[in-house]
Structure 1
């Protein structure tokens, strides 16, 4: 059967369950609105079925009539929907579909569909089995769904799909698995804006990238496909890997990751932690260059070395992860485990050597024994209290060395 009305076209072979194959003339349905099509089919099939009743089995057949009228089988069914100017918005084919009066199309076997935006295919959809519902404005499929973006090579797998062409919105939900050469992601739901080339993951999002090799965990992640950026406005954790092992870890209440430049910007309680050595850098905002292995900020920053129990704060800073060096500028204040402090305008911290180099208005103070020195430069190990302070001014240069007391 082939029928076209109000921008919707249906092509199918019909078979009433338990009865014989029946064919209808299209002109009898021309005045029917699409929303009344299931009722029309049911009535017509009921009339045809009555024509084949046997007088002997008439009473028995009456008991099955309601079941037969609301349970039909479609073969080689095609659903097509067009917009107001005649462009297709979806086309779905199925080898077989079971119909009930509660749904326009019920359970479909091996459905395959194409979703259109502005007359062009934006997603191809297939499943082994799915429930299909549509009302002329949106299409709903439920089952093991696979949706493919042929232009960008994105594949979305889930158990429910909803297409709202008037809203330019594709929703795939219920255990989402998305794959692309640039990104892999699992979530509870994915919302795609096809014109904007924007995909929004929500609910237990775990996204991984091969280049750079990172894994992101958050509750909400927006993928701007053409711009090649990932944006999260929720708490996010980013693990960076080397040789399949975590080397660095970043956290923040929001973040933007540029997959092209391999740079992540963490904001609102931003933190990056190097695991070797175990050093943590925190600030209001951090720029993390993953390939360059640097972390920079122009905001007040705090650096904590866990093994040495040394904390350094400054107005801004940079950490070179591979070289294990930290540069700090502006009101630098280093504090050791025994409350010894070293203040300066600039400081270079060699993490491997456990060495601090300070410049500009240097002031060193320790509690036991009580010592207080000032100068222009200083170098030494704050934790062991081995510090050399150099001070100078027009002609006079003073060098002071402080040697710690020997403790049992």
Structure 2
């Protein structure tokens, strides 16, 4: 049941009716042309307070205003600076505010205009902004027909239109959606606005469905993303067919096929479904992939990219090759900050020159400025096989030579 509480007095209407009655008695039987009834003036209230309870008697929502004009014939109230609260199981869950509000049919529909703000309460606050919101309390639904924006401390999410089902806490973003993320932004920083600058991560998708209570989300494709770096280089790009994930658990699953490109490093990677844990800044996948970094080709099954440790790990079936050479191992690791490489488990290095084959359980290496890797086995055993063609002089048996490092 909706309860309306108002205070104040209607302006002029009762006084006009009283004067008309006195005039009629004084005139007696005199005939006069009837005058058109004056348009009823709206009631002006010093305050407006609308409340709705649920079936169990708990508060469902309320709306307040310091001043409102009520038109009886149209059952319409124009409110100034309205504020309200949405409740979930009787507990406040959202705060609402706007510059103006129109209450139609005593609360059947509420139209909020001008700097509309819907703030989610709780441990992970979220703010939804819009120029206008059409709120249907009876349906527990809100509609935003243009320019909805949702922001938190590190992200901004925008779309063409939006629907918010209050009882399910389901936010639906319609049209092209755009997620901008600043992973290094401090919680104490000013709110994200037009002056914040370019985001580090910028992802565009199709329609998004996001449950604000559980954090579960899905987005239709195509998914196109960019990651910018501080230096003035071309951004890394990402393409996927769709995505799903959970904002509260801190991950997004990129649906296959997934492609990542880094023009500055002349690198690309193609693979299957991958998971981006944005809180840990880690990209992982159990699926097969292939990639290219300069002249080096890398294939394998399963990978983990740990940005905080500048580390790439090929989990199994590691296969690296470049012109004239090929290395296979059970696992590989690459620290791109220190340019260190490590191959472990049944390592086999084949060189076209002399059909050389080198086998070991572990090979360490470094990536040179020319994009080639040099491997060695400090403290380990290496078995090398090579073919010497006729006419070559292998050298005397009594003249030992130091073995050169393995150039991969």
- TM bracket, shorter-chain basis: 0.5 to 0.7
Provide TM-score, normalisation by structure 2. Answer: 0.64
Task: Give yes or no for contact 2:219–2:243 (8 Å, CA) kept in 1.
Answer: yes
Where does residue 37 of structure 1 map in the other structure? none
Choose the corresponding residue for 2:179, options 202, 207, 227: 207
Alignment-derived partner of residue 131 in structure 1: 102
RMSD: 4.9
Deviation at 1:302, TM superposition (A): 1.6
Match of 2:111 in 1: 141
SS of 2:221 mapped into structure 1: coil
Aligned partner of 1:302 in structure 2 is: 290
3-state SS of paired residue (2:76): coil
Q: How far apart are the structure 2 equivalents of 1:52 and 1:280?
A: 91
Match of 1:232 in 2: 219
For the residues of structure 2 that align with 1:244 and 1:190, how far apart are their CA atoms?
36
d(CA) in 2 for partners of 1:363, 1:112: 71
- The residue number in structure 1 matching 2:398 is none
Q: Which has the higher strand share?
A: 1
- The correspondence for 1:179, drawn from 133, 137, 151, is 151
| TM-score normalized by the length of structure 1 | 0.64
| Aligned match of 1:22 | 14
C-alpha offsets along residues 197-246 of structure 1, whole Å, 9 cap, x if unaligned?
55443434333445455544333344444555654343334555666989
1:135-176 deviations in whole A, cap 9, x for unaligned?
A: 66x432141122333445433221333444555444444222
Residues 363 and 125 (structure 1 numbering): CA distance in 2 closer, same or farther, change over 3 Å? closer
Conserved in 2, the CA contact under 8 Å of 1:283 and 1:299? yes
Asked if the contact 2:331/2:344 (under 8 Å) is kept, the reply is yes
Q: Which position in structure 1 is the counterpart of 2:253?
A: 265
Partner in structure 1 of residue 44 of structure 2: 74
Native 8 Å contact 1:314 1:331 kept in 2: yes
Moved more, 281-290 or 375-384: 375-384
Check whether the contact 1:9–1:81 (CA below 8 A) recurs between aligned residues: no
**CA-CA distance at 1:297 after TM superposition:** 1.8
Separation of aligned partners in 2, 1:107 and 1:170: 19
After TM superposition, the structure 1 stretch with the greater mean CA deviation from structure 2, 153-162 or 229-238, is 229-238
Q: Does 1:93 align with 2:64?
A: yes
The 8 Å contact of residues 272 and 282 in structure 1, kept in 2 or not, is answered as: yes
The 2-side partners of 1:21 and 1:230 are apart by 55
Does 2:273 align with 1:285? yes
CA distance in 1, matches of 2:279, 2:2: 53
Asked if 2 retains the 8 angstrom alpha-carbon contact of 1:117 and 1:168, the reply is no
SS at match of 2:42: strand
Deviations 1:348-407 (A, max 9, x none): 3756759795864847476xxx975555368898998999999xxxx9842579999xxx
Residue 300 of structure 2 is matched in structure 1 by 314
Gaps of at least 5 residues in structure 1 are: 1-5, 24-44
SS of aligned partner of 1:174: coil
Q: Over residues 74-116 of structure 1, what are the superposed CA-to-partner deviations in whole Å (9 max), with x where a residue is unaligned?
A: 3234444444555443433341326384x42154333333334
